[in-house]
Structure 1
Amino acid sequence: MSGLWSFSGRYRILHLTWFAFFLTFVVWFNFAPFATAVKADLGLNEAQLRTLAICNVALTVPARIIIGMILDRYGPRITYSWLLIYAAIPCLMFAFAQNFSQLVLSRLALSIVGCGFVIGIRMVAEWFPPKEIGLAEGIYGGWGNFGSAGAAFTLPTIAAAAAFLGAGQVNWRFAIALTGIVAAIYGVVYYFNVQDTPPGKVYERPQSSAGMEVTTQKDFWFLLLSNIPLVGVLGLIAWRLNQVKFLNVTQLYVTWFLLLCLYAFQAYNCWKANKGLMTGKKRYASEDRYQFGQVVNLEIAYLACFGSELAVVSMLPTFFQRGFGLTEALAAGVAGTYAFMNLAARPGGGLISDKIGSRKWTLAATLAGMGVGYLVFSGLGGNIPLVGVVIMTMIASFFVMAAEGATFAIVPLIKRRVTGQIAGNVGAYGNVGAVIYLTVYSFLPQDAAGDRIFFQMLGIVGLISASICAFLLKEPEGSHEGEEIGIASSKAPVFSRERE
C-alpha cells in the first residue's frame, strides 16, 4: 500500500470508489442533522420521528441482497453508477414532502441507497491482492462510512448558507435535495473513470444470478434458514408502521402475507440457482467448494458491530444529554467522535487482520473489545470529566469499527465469483441488527436507566458474537499470500473445505 496517496492504478480505483461510498452515506444520513427542523416544520410527534429513523434502514436489507446479485452479474462500475444516479430521486421526494406519509415513502425509497457499500467491496477485491485486502477494504469502508459524520458536519452549514432562499423550511429542503443531485453527477463521473478489473484480469460471474450459489446440499438448507431474519425484520418494520398508524391492521396483515410470498419467491430462486446440486446432477470438486456456515458466522459478527453502530449513532447525543447534562450542541460534538473514528479504526481493523497472521482471531478480539466497551459505557455516570467521556467514546468506537474492518477483511476471500452476494448478505445482517436494536430501544424507558440497559444489551451481544467467531469461524487458507494483479488467479484463498 506504499502508493496509497497516489492517484494512479489500483489506488485511483480505491479513491474513486471510497468517495462513491462516502456520497451514498451522506445521502443515507442526510435526515439526521435536520430531524428537529423537520419535526417542527411538519408537526411530527416523537413516535413518528423514531419511525422515520427505522424506515431509513428498512429497504436496505433486501436491497443489499438484490444489489449483490446485480453486482455479480453486471459488475461494480455500472451498478455503482446507477445507484448514485438513482439517489437523486428519493432525495428530491423527501425535499418536497408535505406530510408524514410522503416522508415515510421517500425514506423507504432512500434506504435503498444504503446498499452502496456492497458494490465497492467487490470492486476493491478485484484490484487488490489477498495480503492487502484487509487494509484496502478497511480504507474503502472506513473513509466512506465517514459520510455519516460528513453529513452532520456540512449539511447544517449548507442549509444556513441557503437562508436567503426563504424561510427556515427551505434550508433543510435545499440541503437534502443538493445531496441527491451531487450523488447523481458523481455517478456519471464514476462510470467514465473506473474499470471492473485490472487489464488482463477476467471478471468472474456466477452461473446463475437468480439466487446465491452454494456448493453442498447441506449449505442450501442453511442458506434458506439464514434468509428468514432478512424477511422477518421487514415484518417487524411493518408492525412498527402499524403502531404509528401509517398502516392499519388489514394493511399490516396484507404486508405480512406479501413478505411470506417474498420469502417463498426468494427460496424458489435459490432452488433455481442450485437445482443441479440439489437434484444430484452437479457435484463440486473439493477445491471449488466453500462453507456457507462461515458466511453465517460473519453475518452474526456484522449484526453485532455495524448493527450497533447504526443504532448508537442515532441515540448517542441524547445519551450524553440525559446522562451527563451536556447541552445539545456539546452532546452532538462529543457523539461525533464516535463516527469520526471510522477514518482510522476500520482501516486499522483491516490492517491488523493483514499483519498478525490470523483473520479469525483479529475479528474475535475486536468483537470482544467492542462488547467490553459497551458494558463500560453502560456504567458511565455524570461525575466523569468530559475529557474522560470523549476518550471512552473513541476507545469503544475503535473496537466497533475495527470489528467491521476485520469482518470485511474475510468476506472477499470466501468465494470470488459470488463475492457481491456474500457481501450483500453479510451487510444486510448489519441492518437487521440496527432495526432490532432500535426497536428494542423504543420500548426502553426514555431516561438514563433505559440508555444503560441498551448499552448492556449491545455489550452482551458483542461478547456472544466474539465467542461464536472464536469457536466456529475457520481461518481462510492462504489469505496472506500475494496475487499478481492483472492475472486471473485460480487459487483464491478459501476456508478449510469440507468434504461430502
Structure 2
Amino acid sequence: MSTMAFSACFAVWVIFSIIGIPIKALLDLSDTQFGLLIATPILSGALLRLPVGILTDRYGGRKVFAILLLSIIVPLYLVGSATQYWQFLVLGLFVGVSGSSFAVGVTYTAKWFPPARRGLAMGIFGAGNAGAALTNFAAPALLLAWGWQAVPKVYALVIVVVVIVFWLFTYEDPNHRRVSKVSFKDQLVLLRDPRIWKYCQYYSLVFGGFVGLSLWITKYYVNEYQLDLTTAALLASIFVLPSGIVRALGGWLSDRYGAYIVTWGVMWVSWVCLFMLAYPQTVMNIKVISGEDWNFDVGLNIWVFTALLFVLGISWGLGKASVFKGLADEYPNDLGLASGIVGLAGGVGGFLLPIMFGALIDITRVNSSVFMLLYGATSVSLILVYFTFGKEHQTEAIQHAKDKIEDEAVLHSMDDIVADQREAIKESMARSLRTCAQQLSPVMKDQVALEAKLESLTWTLEHYKSIYVMNAKGIQISTNLTPEGRDDDQLGRNRSQRPYMKNMFTGQDFKLSDSYISKNKRRPSLTAIHAVRGNVDELVGFVGVDYDLRSLPRKGASFSGSDEKQQLEGDLSIRAGLLLQQRSQSRLDDKIDDVLTLMEVLMLEHGIFHGKIHFSSNRATVWHLEEPCNYHILTVDDLVNPAICLAYPSQPYNRRAIVPKQEIKKVFDEFKRLRFTDDTIYLRAGSLNICNGMVGLNFSCDSTHYMQYDEFLEKDHKFWLGD
C-alpha cells in the first residue's frame, strides 16, 4: 500500500513534465521559465520533507500519509483551470506537497522490518519512483484525448481513490512512534553530525539528477530528435521506469554487499554514461591535400542515446536505494528526521537542475549542455567522495588488516579475545559518554530539560539498550530511554550498590562493567558509566548506558580455536571395561569401501567441506558450503548409493581448502585401517574438515584425538595401538 501511494504521489509530483510542454507553447515561455515551471513542485516537496519526516516520527506514518494525500487533491484539480503563469507557479507549490511523501513512507515502511531486510523493504517502497513513468504513459494519452486541462483533474480523482484504499488496508503500530518532548531545535542537532552530509551529497546526485532529468527528458527528445510528445514521453519512460523498479534490487544489493560499495559503483557508472551523453551533435570537417574535404557527423543517434539513458537510470535507481540503506543503518532511531534532511538535499537538487538546464540552453543553445552540467557535478562528487569517504574507507580497511595481523600474531586464547574486544569497545563507549556527560551537566537540576537533552543525545550512541541519568548518590533521576521508547518504572531506582558503580564515587570518571546476565531480560549485558561534573569539577551525577552483548559489533579477531594436537580422556568407567568389549561388524563396515569412495567424491566435487563418519552407528554427518550452519545426516543406504551426488550441486573443489585433493583418500584409508586393525581398540568415528585441515578421531576406549591431517598421516600403527 505504501508503494502504491508513493507511486501516485510521484506521478503527481512530475505532472508538469508533460502538461508543461503545451503550457510553454500557450504562454510563450522561455526555456528558463519552463524550467522554473516544472521545478516549482519539486521545491515545495523538497522543503517539506524535513518537517514531514519529524511529524512521521511523532504521529505515525499512516495518519501523516493520509493527510498528505488529502491536501493535494484540491490544488491539483485547480491546475486544470489556471490561465496565468503565476497561477501555475502557486498551484505548483501546493501540488509539490506530494513530493514530501517519500519522507513519510520510508520511515513508515522501514520500522516494520529488521535491519537485515530493511534495505530490500525500502527499495521496494522506493520503486514508487516509477510513478514518473506512469505519468509518461498516462498523461500524453489523456492530453491527446481531452486536452492538457483534463490531466490534473483526472489525477485528482485518482488520488481520492488512492487515499481511501490506503486508509482501509494499512495499519499503525504505536510502538513505531517516537514519543518525544524534544524541541524542533534540539532535533536539528542531527545537522551537526558530519555523517549526515555525506548522504546529502550522494542523494543530491542520484535522486536530484533523476528528478531533474525526468522533468526535462521528454522536452529533450522533442527538441533534439524532433519527436512528437507521445513518442518522446514513451522513450523517456525507458529512463524513468527501470530507475524506479530496480530500487528494490539496489536495496537487496546494499543488504548483501554494503551501502558504501554499491553507491561508489553507481558514481562511476554515472560518470561514464554522462561523459558520452554530454557530447553534442557535431559536424566535423577535415581538410585534405587534394579533393573534397572530409565531413563527418559526430553524435549519438536516438537508439544509442536511449541505451545510455537506460543504463544511467538503472544506476541511479540502485544508488537511491543504497543511500537510504546506509541512512537506516546509521540512524535507526531518527530515520524520519534523517530521511527528511537527506530527502531535502535531493529535492533541492531536483528543483535547481531544471532551472539550470533551461538557463544553460538559453545561453549556449546546445541541448546536450544539460548532460555537461550533470557530468561536471558527478566529477566533482567523485572527487569529494574519494577524499572525504574513500580515504576513510581505505584507512579503515588498512587498519583492519593491521589489526587482524596483530591479533593473529598475539591472540591465542578465548581470554585474549575477550580482553581485546573489551578494550576496543571501551574506547568508543568512553568517548560517546564523555560527550553525553558534558551536554547533560547544565540541565541536571531541571527534570524536563534533562529528559529532553538526554533524548537529543541518543544519536551519538550506537547499539545501546537503555540510557539513564543518576544523581551524585546513585539514585536514578531520569526515565530509562530505549530505542523503543521510555520506561518510567526505573525512575527513582537506587543503583548505588550495583557492581558497576564501584569506585565511581571516589573520583573515577568512566567505568565499563564486567559482563553479567540482566535480572529482568536474562540477557548477556554490559553497563558503561560516566561521571557528570559541574563547573568546578564537582560530582553532580552519572550517565549510564546498558548494552546487550549480542548486539555489540565485533572488533579485531574472532576466536578460532587451536589447531594443535589435542587428546581428550573419556569416561574412566568405559576404560575400566575396555578388554571386555569387542567390535561388532556393522552394515557400514560391510560397505566401507563404497562409503569412503562416495565421501571422497562429495568432498572433491560436491561442496562438502566437513564430514564425520560414524562407523558403529551406520551413518555420517556432513556440512555443505551453502549451508555451513546446518548438518545433514546420511544413512548407510545413502552412503552406498551413488545417486547421493545428485542431492548436492556439482562444484569445484573448495578454494579455501588446505587439505590437498590427493590427501583425502589417504585420510579415509587410514580411517579404515584404524577401524579394522584391532577388535578391542578400534575407531568408532572419524571426521575430516578440508578447510581447517583438522582430523577428529573417537576410539572405543572413549579417547578422542584432534590433529592436523598431515600429522595424522605421519602416525604409524605403534602410535595408536602400541607394540
Q: What is the match of residue 347 of structure 1?
A: 248
Given the alignment of the two structures, is residue 403 of structure 1 paired with residue 387 of structure 2, yes or no? no
C-alpha distance after superposition, 1:77-133 (max 9, x if no partner): 000001111110210221221211211110011112110011111111122221111
1:315 CA drift (Å): 2.5
1:386 CA drift (Å): 3.8
How far apart, CA to CA, are the structure 1 residues paired with 2:107 and 2:311? Answer: 30
Given the alignment of the two structures, is residue 158 of structure 1 paired with residue 142 of structure 2, yes or no? yes
Which residue identity does 1:19 align to in structure 2? Answer: M
Q: What is the match of residue 390 of structure 2?
A: 470
C-alpha distance after superposition, 1:338-363 (max 9, x if no partner): 1021243211211111112x222222
Q: What is the match of residue 170 of structure 2?
A: 194
How far apart, CA to CA, are the structure 2 residues paired with 1:79 and 1:494? Answer: 34
Q: What is the match of residue 608 of structure 2?
A: none
1:379 CA drift (Å): 3.0
Q: 1:367 to 1:469 in 2, by over 3 A?
A: farther
Greater strand proportion: 2
1:365 CA drift (Å): 1.8
Q: 1:434 to 1:329 in 2, by over 3 A?
A: same
Given the alignment of the two structures, is residue 117 of structure 1 paired with residue 90 of structure 2, yes or no? no
Q: 1:193 to 1:494 in 2, by over 3 A?
A: farther
Structure 1 contact 305–401 (Cα < 8 Å) conserved: yes
Structure 2 contact 270–378 (Cα < 8 Å) conserved: yes
Q: 1:203 to 1:48 in 2, by over 3 A?
A: same
How far apart, CA to CA, are the structure 1 residues paired with 2:327 and 2:185? Answer: 14
Structure 1 contact 413–493 (Cα < 8 Å) conserved: no
Structure 2 contact 140–230 (Cα < 8 Å) conserved: no
- With the length of structure 1 as denominator, give the TM-score of the two structures: 0.70
Structure 2 contact 203–346 (Cα < 8 Å) conserved: yes
Structure 1 contact 353–406 (Cα < 8 Å) conserved: yes
How far apart, CA to CA, are the structure 2 residues paired with 1:494 and 1:63? Answer: 36
Structure 1 contact 17–120 (Cα < 8 Å) conserved: yes
How far apart, CA to CA, are the structure 2 residues paired with 1:100 and 1:415? Answer: 42
Given the alignment of the two structures, is residue 173 of structure 1 paired with residue 149 of structure 2, yes or no? yes
Q: What is the match of residue 203 of structure 1?
A: 176
Gap regions ≥5 residues in structure 1: 1-15, 164-170, 225-291, 480-486
Structure 1 contact 155–175 (Cα < 8 Å) conserved: yes
1:437 CA drift (Å): 2.6
Counting only pairs closer than 5 Å after superposition, residues 435-474 of structure 1 correspond to structure 2 as 435-444=351-360, 445-448=364-367, 450-464=369-383, 466-467=385-386, 468-472=388-392
Gap regions ≥5 residues in structure 2: 282-297, 398-460, 464-482, 486-546, 556-723
Q: 1:189 to 1:331 in 2, by over 3 A?
A: closer
Which residue identity does 2:88 align to in structure 1? Answer: L
How far apart, CA to CA, are the structure 2 residues paired with 1:418 and 1:154? Answer: 37
Counting only pairs closer than 5 Å after superposition, residues 284-433 of structure 1 correspond to structure 2 as 292-321=193-222, 323=224, 329-356=230-257, 358-379=258-279, 381=281, 383-433=299-349
Q: 1:100 to 1:386 in 2, by over 3 A?
A: closer
Q: What is the match of residue 191 of structure 2?
A: 223
1:74 CA drift (Å): 0.4
Which residue identity does 1:223 align to in structure 2? Answer: L
Identity of aligned pairs, percent?
20
1:63 CA drift (Å): 0.6
Which residue identity does 2:246 align to in structure 1? Answer: A
Determine helix, strand or coil for the equivalent of 1:341: helix
Given the alignment of the two structures, is residue 30 of structure 1 paired with residue 3 of structure 2, yes or no? no
C-alpha distance after superposition, 1:300-319 (max 9, x if no partner): 11011111111112232344
Given the alignment of the two structures, is residue 139 of structure 1 paired with residue 115 of structure 2, yes or no? no
1:19 CA drift (Å): 0.3
Q: 1:45 to 1:208 in 2, by over 3 A?
A: same
Which residue identity does 1:194 align to in structure 2? Answer: T
Structure 1 contact 304–433 (Cα < 8 Å) conserved: yes
Determine helix, strand or coil for the equivalent of 2:169: coil
Q: 1:211 to 1:371 in 2, by over 3 A?
A: farther
Q: 1:394 to 1:188 in 2, by over 3 A?
A: same
Determine helix, strand or coil for the equivalent of 1:97: coil
Counting only pairs closer than 5 Å after superposition, residues 2-81 of structure 1 correspond to structure 2 as 16-42=1-27, 44-81=29-66
Q: 1:451 to 1:65 in 2, by over 3 A?
A: closer
Given the alignment of the two structures, is residue 98 of structure 1 paired with residue 71 of structure 2, yes or no? no
1:457 CA drift (Å): 2.0
C-alpha distance after superposition, 1:188-242 (max 9, x if no partner): 3312321233xxx82240524642756xxxx93x726xxxxxxxxxxxxxxxxxx
Structure 1 contact 93–106 (Cα < 8 Å) conserved: yes
1:402 CA drift (Å): 0.8
RMSD over aligned Cα atoms: 3.3
How far apart, CA to CA, are the structure 2 residues paired with 1:469 and 1:88? Answer: 43
Which residue identity does 1:470 align to in structure 2? Answer: G
Which residue identity does 2:96 align to in structure 1? Answer: S
Q: What is the match of residue 227 of structure 1?
A: none
Q: 1:324 to 1:46 in 2, by over 3 A?
A: closer
Structure 1 contact 305–462 (Cα < 8 Å) conserved: no
Structure 1 contact 414–493 (Cα < 8 Å) conserved: no
Given the alignment of the two structures, is residue 148 of structure 1 paired with residue 68 of structure 2, yes or no? no
Q: 1:43 to 1:496 in 2, by over 3 A?
A: farther
Q: 1:373 to 1:462 in 2, by over 3 A?
A: farther
Q: 1:464 to 1:109 in 2, by over 3 A?
A: farther
How far apart, CA to CA, are the structure 2 residues paired with 1:465 and 1:322? Answer: 34
How far apart, CA to CA, are the structure 1 residues paired with 2:353 and 2:66? Answer: 32
How far apart, CA to CA, are the structure 1 residues paired with 2:371 and 2:339? Answer: 32
Structure 2 contact 35–357 (Cα < 8 Å) conserved: no
Determine helix, strand or coil for the equivalent of 1:55: helix
Which residue identity does 2:195 align to in structure 1? Answer: Q
Structure 1 contact 89–180 (Cα < 8 Å) conserved: yes
Greater helix proportion: 1
How far apart, CA to CA, are the structure 1 residues paired with 2:326 and 2:99? Answer: 21
How far apart, CA to CA, are the structure 2 residues paired with 1:157 and 1:124? Answer: 33
Structure 2 contact 279–299 (Cα < 8 Å) conserved: no
How far apart, CA to CA, are the structure 1 residues paired with 2:226 and 2:95? Answer: 34
How far apart, CA to CA, are the structure 2 residues paired with 1:385 and 1:354? Answer: 38
Q: What is the match of residue 233 of structure 1?
A: none
Counting only pairs closer than 5 Å after superposition, residues 230-309 of structure 1 correspond to structure 2 as 292-309=193-210
Larger Rg, first or second structure (1 or 2): 2
C-alpha distance after superposition, 1:106-161 (max 9, x if no partner): 0011112110011111111122221111111111112x111111012112223444
Answer 1 or 2: higher relative contact order, Cα 8 Å, separation at least 6: 1
When structure 1 is superposed on structure 2, of 31-40 and 201-210 the one drifting more is 201-210
Q: 1:452 to 1:97 in 2, by over 3 A?
A: closer
C-alpha distance after superposition, 1:275-319 (max 9, x if no partner): xxxxxxxxxxxxxxxxx3222111111011111111112232344
